[in-house]
Amino acid sequence: MKCTVLHNSDNRIRVHLEVYRMSLAQADVLEYYLRNVSGVTDVKVFDRTCDAIIRYSGEKSAVTKALSVFSFDDENAIALVPEHTGRELNRHYADRLANRVIRRVLSRVFLPYPVRAGVALLRSGKYLLKCLKSILRREIEVSVLDATAIAVAMLQGDFQTASSIMFLLDIGDILDEWTHKKSVDDLVRSMALQVDMVWKKEDGQEYLTPIEQIKAGDEVVVRMGSMIPLDGKVTGGEAMVNQASMTGEGIPVRKAAGSYVYAGTVVEEGQCTIQIDKAMGGGRYDRIVQMIEESEKLKSDVEDKASHLADRLVPFNLAAAGLIYLITRNATKASAALMVDYSCALKLSLPIAVLSAMRESSNKGITVKGGRFMEIISDVDTIVFDKTGTMTYAEPKVAGVVSFGGEDETEMLRLAACLEEHYPHSIANAVVREASNRGLLHEERHTEVEYVVAHGISSSIEGKKALIGSYHFVFEDEGAVIPPGEESKYESLPDAYSHLYLALDGVLAAVILIEDPIREEAPAVIRRLHELGAKRIVMMTGDNARTARAVAALVGVDEYHAEVLPEDKAAFIKAEHEAGRTVVMIGDGVNDSPALSEADAGIAISDGAAIAREIADVTIKADDLYSLVTLKETSDALMDRIHGSYRFIMTFNTALIVLGVGGILTPAMSALAHNASTIAVSLRNMTPLLPENPLGRE
């Protein structure tokens, strides 16, 4: 692509593309292509002027080379553009705003007053109709105030003022709608399925395949605890699917051959083979929009109270206007009281503050499903942590393999990886990773695997029953035994590691030693959460008491509970509720799902089981426990912002009413100041709540 450099400075270059015109779609292709260039930190593309501003780190030559080979028709560049980018949305509302202002100016310049008065009379119809509908519903809303002010001006013969009021209301409506939709659109685009690899079924075998390589018509296998990555039809197997992300209904639905399943839903039980109908992106955007719209209903208590108060104040506005007219007999002063209401600002700016906080959190790797959960996190009393994958690193390591019964250590690790790779969990991932690091490739030699929640995996390989999981599952539930004469070897297993047991035909074949190092940041995070108001921090784990005690002492929790089952975690949280405490639970596995559901706000780790992420109200990134601190600080800052916005709106609009009654402001000026303050508060509420590095971390 031929380009001209218009300006060049340190780490910033502005170029002009030598094309006749640039469409919105082409501007998106250029922007996302450049964002994918190594070293580019920020890109702005201006389609009207065919210019681009590029900020970069490193050598400028990488940017200029990328531009020289760029083409709008490059399929690889086009593939980088997401389903929705926001450019078309912004252009739509910018054009609407510009057209409305231009029409206003042209009418004032070229149309005579009688014509303008007639136009104002016609345009007033929609406001009067809204007022009538509100009254028929027996609801006194802001539309009644607007229509009354317009009607009073026209009854006085002041069509100029009536026209100005309607113009300002139109501008306010466009800006309100634009601000809200932009907030939703920004949040939607920051969310993703977080599914990178899927099991593709081909010629009777399963292959772990990058999701972007899956095409319509391909078959993928999805098992218990995993998210369905793409839309499609079930061709084999049977599963109970949680569709809460799509329907809002948490009760799982049976899916068998012929049933249709949707991306983002989760298999709670069983497994199924799905023939893909829509490749990446198909239909997902609209469902995320629906989820966000639903989440807006999950208002925080302070939002809800402010919204109800705003509605209750509307009749008082009308009463005040009537009283002012009775006292002063001045319709202009009475109209000034009508042009100021509390509802618009409260109902627009406070939800925008929440949406903006959700978007800001999402940009930092935190997905929040509603403002109510941020208020809960701000007010939390008790925080409950699962240990593995939360207090400890999400990527535990295999420290060694101890074989029994004459089995080969390498073959046992190979078999363990073959079984574990089908189910997402931090320990399973560690086994698969260790086998990969040792170059142990494996074929799918086993029959269908069965996952037993919080216990382990059962399957059959070459006619032998294979079990892998916890001591409780392998020895107590399944009755496996230690090979005769190897009891002392078993007793000498090092206590410093967690143990994963593998048995074949009821006899212990290997113990995989799992090194589960504590996160370096965990003590600082626990300390900071205490400083931010968490009164009680609890750790719960299925590990033995010895391991739990050591971890609890190192990280600084207030108490710990060891050897707990999933129902024990949920029961503990229920007891906390009964004691009147607000509880937040953090977990990453299928076994944490009951506790995540029971908590006031459940927080899942992003690389944990899909069912945990689905059930949870918040998801945080896996590589940094500081995300919890960021979430708490963001939630606290959001509540402060909501309270501050509420106080400003009430004070400022009350002052406008007083100034209007005093004759200092005309109705048009009151409307202008009111709408301007609403937009100003809304725009402020879209600004970041926290600095880039809230804890001073790089």
49-95 tens-digit pLDDT:
999 999 998 788 888 899 999 999 888 888 778 767 778 888 898 89
Supply the pLDDT for residue 529.
94
Q: What is the pLDDT of residues 98-150, one digit of tens each?
A: 898 899 889 888 889 899 889 989 999 988 898 888 888 877 766 777 787 78
User: CA nearest 585: which of 413, 373, 425?
Assistant: 373
What's the helix, strand, coil split of the chain in %, to 5? 50, 20, 30
Question: What six digits make up the tokens of 250?
Answer: 């948490």
What does DSSP say about strands 197-202 and 232-242: parallel, antiparallel, or unpaired?
A: unpaired
pTM value is: 0.60
Tokens in use for 313? Answer: 């104040």
Q: Which pLDDT score, from 0 to 100, does residue 282 have?
A: 47
Given this model, what pLDDT does residue 693 score?
55
pLDDT higher at 300 or 34: 34
pLDDT given for residue 490 in this prediction: 92
- The model's confidence at residue 696, banded by pLDDT at 50, 70 and 90, is very low
Nearest to 527 by CA among 625, 667, 663: 625
Contact 487, 406 (CB under 8 A): no
Strand partners, 585: 384, 602
Q: What is the pLDDT of residues 287-328, one digit of tens each?
A: 555 555 554 454 555 555 555 555 666 677 777 777 877 877
- Contact predicate 48/26, CB 8 Å: no
Question: CA-to-CA distance for 259 and 267, rounded, in angstroms?
Answer: 13
Q: Which two tokens stand for residue 9?
A: 């400075």
Q: What angle do CA 695, 697, 698 make, to 5 degrees?
A: 150
Residues 42, 55: contact at Cβ < 8 Å? yes
Q: Which of 631, 587, 627, 628 is nearest to 611 (CA)?
A: 587
pLDDT score at 279: 61
Average pLDDT over residues 554-565: 88
What pLDDT sits at residue 457?
85
Of 340-349, 364-373, 537-546, where does mean pLDDT reach its minimum?
A: 340-349
Q: Which pLDDT value is given to residue 643? A: 86
Look up residue 437 and give its amino acid: N
Quick one: average pLDDT of 272-276?
A: 91
Domains belonging to the chain, first-starting first, are 3-81 (3.30.1370.10), 197-289 (2.70.150.10), 366-393+518-631 (3.40.50.1000), 397-515 (3.40.1110.10)
Sign of the torsion angle spanned by Cα atoms 288, 293, 295, 296 = positive
Q: Which of 136-140, 282-286, 469-473 has the lowest mean pLDDT?
A: 282-286
Tens of pLDDT, residues 216-245: 889 999 887 777 888 889 999 888 887 765
The single-letter code of the amino acid at 308 is H
Residue-averaged pLDDT of the chain: 81
